[in-house]
Amino acid sequence: VNRTRIDVVLAAIGLEVQRVRGTRAWVLCPFHESSSTSAFFVRRAGERAGTYHCFSCKAGGSLADLVMHVRGLAGEAGEKEARDFIRSAGKGFEPARRRVRVVAREAEISRARFSLPREIVFAPWEEWLTEPRAYLEGRGLGREEAEAFRIGYAVSGPLAGRVVVPFLDERGYPQSYSARTLVGDVPKYRTPDEREGASVDAVFGAHLWPPAAERKRCAVIATEGAIDAMSIRRILQGMPDARAVVCALNGSEPQAGQLLALATFGVVLDASDDDPAGNGAARTIRYAMGRHAEYRRLLLPADANTMLAGGDGARPRPKLLRKLIGVALTG
Ligand SMILES: [Zn+2]
């Protein structure tokens, strides 16, 4: 979003822009006591640039009217001062005289929100195609995970023949995805291209976390892959007393934002794989947690999913998985 002259004036009078949509900058209305959602916008470009309107209290007028109101100016002299202010906005003028409510600005308003590729099919479980459904069921997973984690699949486009696991943030917005091939394509897992605008800080499972205020009494079990995280969640569902949730970091290179998210918990159970890459990740996580969270390693004799459902010639060992999780949670 290019900054316009109007944006500069709005900043100079201390009005925080909540969001910009096209030519409209949405701000909390300074003419009435408003809630957290804004019904007030200022046209920031075009023929009528600077004019404003409130859908709630019906205030409306010119940019000079707005500046006069916010800065408490009146009369002809006030009008002149407002016009002078606008002309030299941001240069040597005092901040707003009237107290103006400051609202949290949406992070990086100029950045488009990541969205999942359109070709992904999100069908009710009954309508899933055989192959993706058989894949999840073969892993000991199914409807529960498909619904809780909003898993989809693609039959066309670049992700064709893949099960797509979205990474949803704490508010449920997609931040990234991991798409596993069902037909032996390379790479086995496909993640978003940089140009798609995905976040490297995305954490799989965050949309099911408790509110931040409750997390210090709670443990998070961090795995590398989403399938392992979902497998551990299956086990946790049979442990009603366990105060623990899961997440996956999508690999063995924990990112700063992911570490910050982990540090909001009281205990971090690190289920990184027991291999050189996993042990490197474990070191990073342990150092990053420092005093923020209690760090414990959850070393498993095999992938959590292999323990849940078997595979590669190994038999399922869900009871052992449950026992090891229980021991690690007890500390
Ligand atoms: Zn209003």
Q: Is 121 exposed, middle or buried (0-12, 13-18, 19+ CB in 10 A)?
A: middle
Token pair, residue 261, equals 């998210």
Decide which of 92 and 124 is more confident: 124
Whole-number Å distance between alpha carbons of 136 and 140: 7
Q: What is the pTM of this model?
A: 0.67
pLDDT at 101: 52
Q: How confident is the model at residue 96 (pLDDT cuts 50, 70, 90)?
A: very low
Both tokens of 93, joined, read 């003028």
Q: Compute, in angstroms, the gap from residue 25 CA to the centroid of ligand 1.
A: 14
- What confidence tens digit (pLDDT) does each residue in 55-79 have? 888 899 999 999 999 888 888 999 9
Cα of 17 vs centre of ligand 1, distance in Å, is: 15
Per mean pLDDT, which of 33-37, 44-48, 81-85, 294-298 is the most reliable?
Answer: 294-298
Cα separation, 57 vs 222, in Å, equals 49
Ion ligand 1: residues, Cβ under 5 Å: 29, 31-32, 54, 56-57, 59
What is the percent of the chain where pLDDT is above 90? 61
**Under 8 Å CB-to-CB from 220, ≥6 apart: which residues?**
209, 244, 245, 246, 247, 262, 265, 267, 268, 269
| pLDDT for 109 | 43
Give the pLDDT mean for 194-201: 84
Centre of ligand 1 from the C-alpha of residue 28, in Å: 8
157-171 average pLDDT score = 93
Residue 257, pLDDT above cutoff 50: yes
What is the predicted pLDDT for the residue at 35? Answer: 64
CA of 122 to the centre of ligand 1 (A): 40
Average pLDDT over residues 247-258: 93
The pLDDT value recorded for residue 1 is 54
53 Cα–ligand 1 center, Å: 8
The secondary structure element, H or E, covering residue 12 is: helix 5-12
Integer CA distances (angstroms), 161 to 120, 140, 174, 268, 302, in order: 10, 20, 21, 35, 27
Q: Is the pLDDT of residue 197 over 90?
A: no
Calculate how far, in angstroms, residue 310's C-alpha sits from the geometric centre of ligand 1: 61
Least confident segment among 22-31, 76-85, 89-98, 146-155: 89-98
Contact between 177 and 169 (Cβ < 8 Å): no
Torsion sign across C-alpha atoms 255, 256, 261, 267:
positive
- What is the distance in A from the centroid of ligand 1 to the CA of 38? 8
**Mean pLDDT confidence for 305-325:** 95
Return the H-helix or E-strand segment holding 130: helix 130-138
**CA 155 to centroid of ligand 1, rounded, Å:** 49
| 175-193 pLDDT per residue, tens | 999 999 999 999 999 999 7
Distance from C-alpha of 182 to C-alpha of 138, rounded to nearest angstrom: 12
Residue 173 pLDDT: 86
- Percentage of the chain beyond pLDDT 70 is 91
DSSP 8-state symbol, 210 = P
Distance 44 CA to ligand 1 centre (A): 18
30-34, 108-112, 147-151, 291-295: range with lowest mean pLDDT:
108-112
144-159 mean pLDDT: 94
The rounded Å distance from CA 79 to ligand 1 centre is: 21
| DSSP letter for each residue of 237-295 | HT-TT--EEEEE-SSS---HHHHHHHTTSSEEEE---SSHHHHHHHHHHHHHHTTTSEE
pLDDT at 2: 66
Over the stretch 212-244, which tens digit does the pLDDT of each residue have? 889 999 999 999 999 999 999 999 999 999 999
C-alpha 232 to ligand 1 mean position (Å): 50
Compute, in angstroms, the gap from residue 103 CA to the centroid of ligand 1. 15
Q: Specify the pLDDT at position 105.
A: 47
12 CA to centre of ligand 1 in angstroms? 20
Phi, psi at residue 41, to the nearest 5°?
-135, 155
84 C-alpha to ligand 1 centroid (Å):
25
